[in-house]
Structures are given as C-alpha cells and as structure tokens.
C-alpha cells in the first residue's frame, strides 16, 4: 500500500488507528456475536476484502452544495475536521483504511436544498463518503447502491444544530453480490435524521447504521423494507445512542422473505446516563413465505438514564389466512390478493418516506419485487 | 338458483353439517335461524368457498353448476356474495382501493372492461350516500377502526356495488343497535330484486322484523329441522329453540 493509494485528506493518525483496528479484528464472521447471522468471511471466501477501490458518482450536484473529491490533495478544513472519526466498527475501519477515493459534500449554514442530491456508489471495492450539513441546513440524499460483486462503502454524516437530512437508500443487487455499508450519523442539538433503507438483498447484504444523538432534542427516524427471494440475504443492524436529553428515535422495519431467503434485523438502542426524557420506539416485523425462509429479528435496549420512554417489539408470521379469504371472496384472484396484502404489510414503513417522489419510486421497486414472489 | 342437497361438511374430523337440503329461487329471501353451534356460519363459509371445510357428502349446485368446484374469487365473479359476520381489518389497503380492485377483478373475470378511477368513485359515492357511509370512511384503511355498525354498513355497501345474484348475510344483525339495524335492513331491502336471491342467517327473530323473508328454515345439529313462512320466526321468538328441537327429536 503506497501513500498515493490512500485518501490524501485523511489525517495520518486516523488512518493508522483504522488500519490497526481492521488488522486486529480481520473480516467479521459468524462466531462474532454481532455477525452471527451474517458470515462475511464465508461469503467473501479466499478473496477477502481486497484492496480495490470502488467508484462514486454525483450526477447532478444541486446548486449550493459543495463537493470535494477525496482522492485530491489539500482538502478544505471541514473535510479534515470531520472525515474518519473512529467508531470501533471494523468494516468502517476497513473502508477508511483501504479506500483511495470517495467524496465529501457540504451544505453551508442555513441553506435549504430543494432538489435531492443523488449519490451513487459503483464498481467493486472500498469507497468512502462524508456529508456535512451545517447549522439549520437541510437536504434530501438519495443513495443508489447497485452492486454486482463486492463493495464496502462507508458513509459518514454530520448534522449541525437544527439541520435536517432525509436519506433514502435503494440497493438493487445481483444475487451473487456481497454488499456492506456503514452509515454513521452524528447529530447536534435539534438536528433531525430521517432515513429509509429499501433492501433487495444479495449473496450477503449488511447495512450497519450507527446513530449518535449527541445534542439535546435531536431526532432519528429510521424505517426500511426488504423483499427477498431465492437465497438472498439482507441484514440491517442499527445502534442508536441517546447521548443527550429529550432525544427521540423511532425504527420501523418490515421484511418479506420467500424461498430460502433470510432477513436479519438487529437493533440496539442505548440511552446513556443523563439522557433523561428520551423517547425511543423500535418495531421489526417479518412475513415468511414458505418453510425455508428465515427471519432473525433482535431488538435490544440498554437504559442508563431516568424518566425515559422506550418500547420495542418484533414479530414473525405468515400472510393472514382470514384476510386472504376475505379479499378472494370479494373476487380478487389469489395471486393479486397476496400481492395486495404483502404491499399493505410494507406500506406503513414506506409511508415514512417524506419525499413523495422518492416514496413512489420505492413503491414501484417493491411492486416489481413482490410480483416476482407473490 | 341454489340447490343444496344432503350436504355433509366436516371441520377437521368433526362433522358440522349432517345432511342439509335447501333450495332457493331467484327473487326469494330465505332465512336460516338456529341456535349457536348449529352450523349456520359453516354453511355460509362453505357457500363462499373458505378453506378448511370438507364436503364429505352431498352437493351444492348454483345456476346448474357445481359451486364447490369454484375458487372463492370465481364464485364472487359469478355473483355469490357473503356479507360476513366479522369483516376483517386490513391495514395498509384503503377502503376505496379495495372496492376498486374487487369490482374490477369481478368485471374482468366476466369479460367486462375495467371501470376507471372516476367511474368507480361515482358508483361508490352514489351507493355510499344511501347507506350513510362517509367519504372519510372510504379513505381509511379497510375496516380499521370502524365501529361494528360501520363494518356492517360497509358489507351492505359492497353488496350494493357488486350487485350479486345470490347474497348470503351471515349474522348481519350481530352487534348492531336498533338504529344501525334499521339502516342496514333498509339497505338490504332496497336490493331485493326479482333476479336476486338472498339467504339471511340469524340467531334472532329481530332482524326478520325488518327483512321479511319468504321462507324460514330452522337449522339445528347440522340439519334443517323445521320450515315455514315468516310466522315461524314469531313462534321461535315466543317459545324458543328448545321447544322446536324437542318436537323433532
């Protein structure tokens, strides 16, 4: 690894720290508790994570958003200040240590960007992105993560006071693709992060989301759907930390798995000492179509504060036979009735998407995926 | 129109209907009365084609065709409608979307063209008005958060929209107060038609004060044990089921 092959704007100490972490832990596998349902080492086989560099594309940069190519030297101060803060996440450390490129984006203070910013990760290998919204700035980020082989993307998001980000992620992937992505979000007081992750799985797909509600009044609202068939696998693992008082988080994840597919949701909510008055709600549900489909739903709570309101729940089931009969008795053919019920099952999670265009886009993708399995 | 002959139906290993025979002609309204556990709901579900009911003997013929060979959706398209005792709640599907999908599914199965969104809306609105079903109800998820009366009104609204040839009303009076009952009964009465047959299934005589049947059948222990005109309902009300069951025992 030569210096020219690394992100030039990343402070040396941060890169060394990340490289050391990845060297110490290696590629995660199923004997590590957090990766029990998602054996990355087995999926990658002998090839391992490699040192190839994936690409990124911002097709139309909305006016007002600043962009910096991470493969270039002399980054602006806001890039050096925020890029590559260690999180202890091993795959995030890998993308930081092994990426040679990526992109940094900034919305300046007070600026509300109306057009969505479209960020696409492409190709095989490691890639890194940083998004900074300064105080009272707002943006909709639309991420498309189509992948055919292996990719590990690390996305860092920093939200200043009162900033608001809507994030919609669609990840169409080949059945043989291995896709890992880490989203790390830090929120200052009264900042708001609303995200929807629509997943269609791959040979292995892992979405790892770490949210730090660092300022009082900060909010994170996560939702997601997955529609999986064949031998596809999709894992969404979240860790939301309420580090300050009066912070709020909600999570609503819905999965449909057919064939021999496997849907995984692991969600941990930590309410730190002193984060009083915090409110969190977690819900994960899965519908299994067929005996060989599997869902592993694991919501977890750790509370070290007083006067908090936390709820969590998980449920796995089959399509409701009563509902199916009711629709058929009204003349709706079985396949269409099943499709309608599956769509209805996912709908409340899709309805969480604030942007109407993006919501419709996700609906269309879901309909296509559901048609294939209903 | 509907000929049921010597019908035996089991659920699991348990026989529920044990030799039921019944015939209904177009334009007629028949009532089936019976105590709890007599097999009333089993009969309605078997007619609509719900899974889990095994016909071990006998036949059901509908307009000359073996009804039991048809899937539920095929029966609906051919004009069989069951107003259910417990309409299901389906979150995530709005009432209007459901009505449109069901109506057009039935039309397609009959080789008719789809009604467009505006056509459906017009039709639904016109029928909804007389049944006191509000615009707001049509926008809500199907039956979710509806009161008992609202659910039953929506069942009758569907009957008005789909215009079935054979309508089966399963305990449509259960859970309704007197005002709601009257509204529902009026809705049903306006749908009486020389070409339409109705089978009204109920435990109580009360509903039959408002929907006056041509013929009453008493169902007990899986068989029709007594038959008569509308005056039979009054006798049942006055003397109870036990009296009749004793007579036929």
Per-window interface: B 30-49 vs A, CB < 8 A:
48-49
Min Cα–Cα distance to chain A from B224, Å: 26
3-state secondary structure string, B173-209? CCCCCHHHHHHHHHHHHHCCCCCCEEEEEECCCHHHH
**For position B247, what pLDDT does the model report?**
67
How far, CA to CA in Å, does B63 sit from each of A280, A299, B3, B26, B236? 59, 55, 8, 10, 32
E strand map for A98-203: 102-107, 117-122, 125-133, 138-144, 150-159, 164-171, 178-187, 192-199
Domains of chain B: 2-248 (3.40.50.300)
Tell me what the mean pLDDT of segment A129-149 comes to: 93
Residue B49 CB partners (closer than 8 Å, separation 6+): A328, A329, B67, B68, B70, B71, B72, B75
Nearest CB to A331; choose among B50, B73, B93: B73
**Rg for chain A (alpha carbons), in Å?**
20
Q: Is B91 in contact with A325 (Cβ distance < 8 A)?
A: no
Tell me, yes or no, whether A200 lies in a domain: yes
d(CA B127, CA B122) in angstroms, rounded, equals 9
* pLDDT digits 0-9 by tens, A210-222: 999 999 999 999 9
- With a pLDDT cut of 70, the percent of chain A lying above it is 98
Tell me, yes or no, whether A358 lies in a domain: no
Q: Is A330 in contact with B71 (Cβ distance < 8 A)?
A: no
Q: Give which of B142, B51, B161 is closest to B89, Cα–Cα.
A: B142
Q: Which residues of A touch B76 (CB under 8 A)?
A: 328-331
Residue of A nearest to B85 (CA): A326
**For position A101, what pLDDT does the model report?**
87
pLDDT-derived band at B190 (thresholds 50, 70, 90) equals very high
Q: What are the percentages of helix, strand and coil residues in chain B, rounded to 5?
A: 40, 30, 30
Q: Is B88 in contact with A347 (Cβ distance < 8 A)?
A: no
Tell me, yes or no, whether A366 lies in a domain: no
| Lowest mean pLDDT, pick from A4-13, A94-103, A183-192, B43-52 | A4-13
Total number of domains constituting chain A: 1
How far, CA to CA in Å, does B212 sit from each of A46, B41, B209? 79, 21, 6
Residue of A nearest to B168 (CA): A329
Test the B interface: residue of A254, A315, A331, A332 with most B CBs within 10 Å: A331
pLDDT-derived band at B245 (thresholds 50, 70, 90) equals confident
Q: Is B101 in contact with A336 (Cβ distance < 8 A)?
A: yes
Tell me, yes or no, whether A113 lies in a domain: yes
**For position A67, what pLDDT does the model report?**
97
**For position B248, what pLDDT does the model report?**
63
Reading phi first (left if > 0) and then psi (alpha if -120 to 50, else beta), residue A110 is in left
Min Cα–Cα distance to chain A from B243, Å: 36
The ipTM is 0.95
Q: Is A327 in contact with B102 (Cβ distance < 8 A)?
A: yes
Q: Is B50 in contact with A329 (Cβ distance < 8 A)?
A: yes
Tell me, yes or no, whether A326 lies in a domain: no
Tell me, yes or no, whether A166 lies in a domain: yes
d(CA A47, CA A37) in angstroms, rounded, equals 21
Contact call for residues B223 and B40 (beta carbons, < 8 A): no
Q: Is B71 in contact with A345 (Cβ distance < 8 A)?
A: no
pLDDT at B116 over 50: yes
Tell me, yes or no, whether A350 lies in a domain: no
Tell me what the mean pLDDT of segment B169-187 comes to: 88
Residue-number span of the structural domain to which A176 is assigned: 3-320
Tell me, yes or no, whether A37 lies in a domain: yes
How far, CA to CA in Å, does B81 sit from each of A54, A317, A329, B2, B197? 59, 29, 7, 13, 11
Mean pLDDT, rounded, of chain A: 93
d(CA A341, CA A337) in angstroms, rounded, equals 6
Min Cα–Cα distance to chain B from A319, Å: 11
**For position B177, what pLDDT does the model report?**
86
Q: Which residues of B touch A320 (CB under 8 A)?
A: 88
**For position A91, what pLDDT does the model report?**
94
pLDDT at B205 over 90: no
């Amino acid at each position: 690894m030569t210096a020219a092959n690394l992100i030039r704007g990343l402070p040396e100490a941060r890169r060394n720290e990340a490289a050391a972490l990845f060297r110490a832990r290696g590629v995660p596998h199923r004997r590590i508790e957090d990766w029990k349902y998602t054996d990355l080492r087995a999926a990658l086989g002998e090839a391992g994570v490699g040192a190839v560099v994936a690409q990124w594309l911002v097709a139309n940069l909305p006016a007002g958003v600043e962009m910096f190519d991470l493969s270039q030297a002399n980054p602006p101060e806001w890039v050096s200040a925020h890029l590559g803060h260690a999180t202890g996440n091993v795959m995030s450390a890998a993308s930081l240590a092994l990426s040679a490129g990526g992109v940094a984006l900034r919305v300046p203070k007070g600026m509300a960007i109306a057009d969505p910013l479209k960020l696409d990760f492409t190709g095989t290998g490691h890639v890194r992105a940083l998004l900074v919204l300064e105080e009272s700035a707002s943006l909709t980020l639309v991420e498309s993560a189509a992948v055919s082989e292996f990719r590990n993307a690390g996305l860092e998001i920093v939200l200043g006071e009162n900033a608001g980000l809507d994030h919609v992620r669609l990840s169409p992937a080949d059945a043989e693709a291995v896709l890992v992505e880490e989203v790390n979000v830090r929120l200052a007081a009264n900042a708001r992060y609303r995200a929807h992750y629509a997943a269609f799985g791959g040979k292995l797909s892992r979405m790892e989301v770490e949210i730090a509600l660092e300022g009082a009044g900060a909010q994170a609202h996560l939702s997601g759907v997955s529609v999986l068939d064949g031998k596809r696998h999709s894992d969404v693992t979240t860790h939301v930390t309420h580090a300050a008082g009066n912070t709020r988080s909600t999570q609503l994840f819905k999965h449909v798995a057919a064939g021999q597919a496997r849907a995984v949701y692991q969600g941990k909510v930590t309410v730190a000492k002193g984060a009083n008055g915090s409110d969190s709600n977690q819900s994960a549900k899965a519908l299994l179509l067929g005996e060989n489909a599997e869902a592993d739903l694991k919501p977890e709570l750790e509370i070290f504060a007083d006067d908090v309101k936390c709820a969590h729940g998980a449920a796995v089931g089959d399509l409701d036979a009563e509902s199916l009969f009711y629709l058929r008795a009204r003349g709706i053919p079985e396949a269409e009735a099943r499709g309608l019920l599956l769509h209805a099952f996912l709908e409340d999670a899709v309805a969480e998407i604030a942007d109407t265009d993006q919501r419709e886009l996700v609906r269309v993708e879901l309909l296509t995926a559901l048609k294939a399995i209903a | 129109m509907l000929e049921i002959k010597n019908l035996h139906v089991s659920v699991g290993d348990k026989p529920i209907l044990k030799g039921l025979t019944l015939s209904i002609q177009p334009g007629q309204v028949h009532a089936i009365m019976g105590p709890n556990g007599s097999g009333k709901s089993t009969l309605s579900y078997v007619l609509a084609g719900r899974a889990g009911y095994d016909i071990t003997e006998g036949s059901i013929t509908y307009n000359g065709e073996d009804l039991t060979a048809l899937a539920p959706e095929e029966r609906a398209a051919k004009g069989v409608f069951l107003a259910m005792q417990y309409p299901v709640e389906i979150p995530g599907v709005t009432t209007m979307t459901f009505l449109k999908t069901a109506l057009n599914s039935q039309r397609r199965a009959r080789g008719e063209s789809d009604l467009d969104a505006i056509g459906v809306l017009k039709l639904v609105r016109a029928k909804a008005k007389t049944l006191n079903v509000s615009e707001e109800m049509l926008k809500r998820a199907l039956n979710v958060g509806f009161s008992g009366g609202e659910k039953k009104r929506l069942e009758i609204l569907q009957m008005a929209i789909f215009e079935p040839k054979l309508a089966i009303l399963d305990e449509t009076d259960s859970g309704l107060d007197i005002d709601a009952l009257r509204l529902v009964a009026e809705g049903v009465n306006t749908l009486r038609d020389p070409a339409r047959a109705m089978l009204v299934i109920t435990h109580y005589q009360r509903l039959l004060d408002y929907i006056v049947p041509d013929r009453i059948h008493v169902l007990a222990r899986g068989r029709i044990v007594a038959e008569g005109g509308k005056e039979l309902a009054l006798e049942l009300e006055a003397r109870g089921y036990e009296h009749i069951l004793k007579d036929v025992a």
